[in-house]
Amino acid sequence: MRSNRDRGVNRREFLKASALAAGATALAACAPVASDAGADAAADEGSAEEMQRGNLIGLYGGPINSFNPLTAVQGFQSHFFQCVLPPLIQQNVPKTGFVPIMAESWEVSDDATQYTFHIHPDAKWHDGTDFTAEDVVYTYELYLNPATKSRQVSNLAMIEGAEAYSNDEADSVAGITVVDDKTVQFTTAYPTGLFLFQATNAILPKHVLGDVAPDALENQSFFFEDPLGSGPFRFIEYQTDQFIRLEANDDWHWGAPKLGSYIMQIVASPDVGQIALERGEAHFNAWGGLNTGSTEVVQSFIDNADFKVVATTGVVFTAYSFNLRRGFFADKRVRQAWLHALDRKKIIEVFQGGNGTIYNSPLIHGWSIPDDLNPYDYDADLARSLLEEAGWDFDQEVTVNLITLRSEEARAQVAAEKQMLEEVGFKIKIEEMDSSVWVERFYDTHDFDAVRVGFGSFPDPDGFLKFHLTTQGRNANGYSEAIGGDFEEKVIEAGQLTDQAARQEIYFELQRTLNDNPSHAPLYVGNNVWVFNGGVNIPEITDQSVVGSLADLSNPLPAKRDWWTNLEGWSFDG
């Protein structure tokens, strides 16, 4: 029995003890701020004590879709859940293990089929109700219930009895068991080192939502106006498309936060975000809200002694994705032509200041990439030839759905990409829309020709493949049915293996399939650039190597998410 229990180690020490974390995973993913009320109005409402403890304001580059973890796909939403509705455990990056959040400890059986989580004895909901194993079981049953429109059904299919429950053939999930009030056990249908990644889902309060029918949950005010949480911060208010105000939860079981409040400030454009940072009306770019693709903008903050600039390896790839339900995309040569039409090196140089790495499939996990993939170098003549060979109808219009762009620089880049595609014979229409509409059309109704967006890479290839490209998951572009063969069977097989070398061999094969018969046209993965007001202190990020020149952007720190697992340790002196 593997265990992470060590009563002599407190949580802050645990966060730094990567060896302990690695042991646990040995088997192993608007109102403008600068112009008026926005964040200042929210901050002014704080108590004197909060002001003394610091009110931190993070920039967010667009509205939040909802507070519903069952249907969430936004990075903004994941930030909110970490603050208010946290999971049992969270991944420690650079990806050496996991850290306890609502769970105090956990154990994995030697055969990698049983995962037992011990909830922190002092864990409570913000109304004082105990946080229990019943909340965990309730939530995971919601994640596995298609009536909730959950986007997690495929990722949790590894749990014993999950498929029967999701198909309405069982009243409960056989593999999820309440051991006692503070202990919950998950049993998987086969040995796997991947389940800990699935213990990172937000948990919902059964005593608040338990009487609501699953198919009625998505319209509950809980998910739009008054979520009750259990995390280090309490929800106070949401001014639609302006800000979300959170206050410190002094009863947080890992210790009261050093901050008095955290304000998620939504900005209408990166220009507004830049002004807000420069005026001290916001304190760091949490999720968008700043044009870090502009070397001029980044250089201005590097040169300003009032700020710290930190670069970390990116985990989001910008790409086009094709709807293979559209007959005109059926021939893989059309999608290959799309890739050859895009001068990705020039796009990175001109619009991203050189900050970008090119990948040639949607799986960007280094260990899963063989060295014989087609690099899809820019070749307009080859792109035209491929379209002609495929019998492409040059009068066919292709609509590309985008989430509303928030800067002229972004629009200029998209315009350049559109021109490249049209030069080889594609007829492109760009359609911008709110993120909620984009999500519905892409994931739910599949009402799109192609999309362009930033896709999260998932901690392991299994997550991306099952979520996006199989019938078990959201299956937005209909890929596995379109290409046929044993693609989906190979995905499932790789996810059920515990031998990493054997998994790698299968992923090499899947990479070659995705490279030759593209589901996506990846543009690049950009390194993350974070700009912090000098008064911000966030362990594991602001105390790391600071960017001193633009050249430092090409040598980023490893991808880091651990700074979002120690929210009680954040502070702001400003």
Q: pLDDT per residue over 61-105, tens digit each?
A: 989 999 999 999 898 999 999 999 999 999 875 555 899 999 999
> What span, in angstroms and rounded, lies between the C-alpha atoms of 200 and 473?
18
Sheet with 427-433: strands ordered across: 427-433, 397-403, 450-456, 316-322, 520-525
Q: Read off the pLDDT of each residue in 336-353 and give the average, rounded to a whole number.
A: 95
Of 15-29, 319-333, 557-571, where does mean pLDDT reach its minimum? 15-29
Higher per-residue confidence, 557 vs 571: 571
Is domain 240-313+530-572 annotated with CATH 3.40.47.10? no
In this prediction, residue 19 carries a pLDDT of 33
What mean pLDDT do residues 169-181 have?
Answer: 98
CATH 3.90.76.10 residue spans of the chain:
2-29+68-223
pLDDT tens across 86-98, in order?
Answer: 999 998 755 558 9
Question: Pseudo-torsion of CA 479, 480, 485, 490, nearest 10°?
Answer: 120
Q: Which pLDDT score, from 0 to 100, does residue 3 have?
A: 53
For CATH 3.40.190.10, the residue range(s) in the chain are: 240-313+530-572
At residue 4 the predicted structure's pLDDT band, cuts being 50, 70 and 90, is low
31 confidence band (pLDDT: 50, 70, 90): very low
pLDDT for the residue 28 = 33
Summarize the chain as % helix, strand, coil (round to 5): 35, 20, 45
> In terms of CATH, what superfamily is 2-29+68-223?
Dipeptide-binding Protein; Domain 1 (3.90.76.10)
Q: Work out the angle at residue 220's Cα, subtended by the Cα atoms of residues 219 and 225, and round it to the nearest 5 degrees.
A: 110
For the whole model, what pTM was predicted? 0.82
The CA distance from 200 to 91, in Å, is 7
> Which residues neighbour 448 within 8 Å (Cβ) at sequence distance 6 or greater?
323, 399, 401, 441, 442
| Location of each CATH 3.10.105.10 domain in the chain | 316-525
Q: Select 316-525's CATH number: 3.20.20.10, 3.10.105.10, 3.50.90.10, 3.30.565.10.
A: 3.10.105.10
Q: Which of 239-253, 413-427, 454-468 has the lowest mean pLDDT?
A: 454-468
